[in-house]
Amino acid sequence: MSQHSQLVGGSTVDRLLNCSASYQYILSLPPQPESVSAFAEEGSFGHAVMDIIANKRMKSPDIRMADEAHALLGVHVYDREVTEKHLDELIYPAIEALEALEGIYGGGFKVVAVEAKVRFPGVPAFGTADLILQSKTHILLADYKFGVGVVTALYVDETGERTNPQLMFYLAAARNTKPALFKKRQPVIAIIQPRAEVPLTHAQVQEDEILWFIQDVELAVDKALGHNPQPHRGDHCKYCPAKPICPAWVGPIRELAKLAPLAARTAAVTRAPTQYAQHLAMAKTLSEDLLAFAKEVDVQLKAYLEDGGYVPGYTLQAKKKLRQWADEDDVNSELDRLGFKHHEIWASKLVTFAAADKTAKRLGVKIPDHLRVVPPTDETVVVRTDEAIAPIERPLLVEQLAASAAKLSRKGQVA
């Protein structure tokens, strides 16, 4: 269990469930480089800090987690020193969410596993459960997400309401690996995401849901290993590296190429879906697909060149970096010697909303609403109908002309 399965795992199970062909397409790609972003590094750091605290709690159940977090201030964990900012923005909110979760399900929990390696039943796959807690009545499986993207324990897609497939994978694997923990206890999955607007989401999972999920995964694996599985495009494709060779993605790009150039609007603008409106909708959808496709092509091209490959017309060069100041004290001293005034060297500005909210929470105060305002605007942006928060319906041009004509007519009568 030293390496994650290429076939299926917690982070890829949703993709395999929705597209059994993805496994074979990814296998046909050259070895993928391991890219580690700053966000991923910060997430690993947050996990490492929470693991230290959870392991201490497992040995000494009566400790106060916030005190243990504060004791790590200035300590080097993972790849950096723990700062007040880390505690305020990541660790304290994660602890508060975890304590709230335990309270919702009756309290009395103890930590029974931290970073638990768990094996999924029926297929050669395993995962790592961040944290498992147990009480007399419940078993909690919690997963930390320290990024800014929204992840929830329950979500709604084109198939209806679903439990998070990554957590379902870990739950089924934990139940298979540690069955005694689950005996006569209600399973609960939870996402703890300190930077999200809703830092805690959770859901109870019934026994039959776990069994159905296991069956779905086994069926998906059978299809993935079978002959000529069919690709399916959707939200699950977001992190799939096989988009440049996937027919479900290449096909729409061909459709885009076949589209006639946008013609002038020959028909009047109406509320009905005209041919021109349908044309715009299709072109917009395909252009969005093209952006995702192009991004993945760039990733694959760079990976191939970095592996020593040759791509006609393209090569690598050092990435340009913006210049930055050297040591601040040296810069301040030298600019001061050159005649710079203090305000010409240093600039100050108000902190961000997020930083102010963290401070207010720590102080136990509320920032007055009137201090933060949304400027009025006449500008508009195009979004998908199902994503619109406050849709705007403009009057038709003919309606505007009619209203203007009526207004002019009234003015003429007054005159």
Give the least confident one: 85-99, 192-206, 349-363.
Answer: 349-363
Is position 257 within any domain? yes
Same domain for 161 and 249: no
Handedness of CA 206, 212, 218, 221 (dihedral sign): negative
- 140 forms beta bridges with 133, 188
Residue pair 104/204 in contact (Cβ under 8 Å)? The answer is: no
Is position 363 within any domain? no
Same domain for 53 and 197: yes
State mean pLDDT over 7-28: 87
Same domain for 246 and 109: no
Neighbours of 363 (CB within 10 A): 8
Total of domains in the chain? 2
Is position 266 within any domain? yes
Q: How far apart are CA 76 and CA 1, in angstroms?
A: 28
Radius of gyration of the CA atoms of the chain, in A? 28
Is position 295 within any domain? yes
CATH number at residue 108: 3.90.320
Same domain for 270 and 193: no
Is position 369 within any domain? no
Q: How far apart are CA 361 and CA 194, in angstroms?
A: 13
Same domain for 148 and 273: no
Would you say residue 397 has pLDDT above 60?
A: no
Which of the four pLDDT bands, split at 50, 70 and 90, describes residue 2?
A: very low
Is position 145 within any domain? yes
Is position 6 within any domain? no
Q: Give me the torsion for CA of 181, 64, 54, 47, rounded to 10°.
A: 130
Residue pair 241/299 in contact (Cβ under 8 Å)? The answer is: yes
Residue pair 126/5 in contact (Cβ under 8 Å)? The answer is: yes
pLDDT of 399: 59
pLDDT of 322: 76
Is position 323 within any domain? no
Q: Give me the torsion for CA of 372, 376, 377, 380, rounded to 10°.
A: 60
Same domain for 32 and 161: yes
Q: What is the pLDDT of residues 103-120, one digit of tens each?
A: 999 999 999 999 999 999
Q: What is the pLDDT of residues 179-195, one digit of tens each?
A: 999 999 999 999 999 98
β pairing state of 138-144 and 186-192: parallel
Tokens linked to 211 = 């069994």
pLDDT of 364: 85
pLDDT of 248: 83
Domain of 203, in residue numbers: 13-225
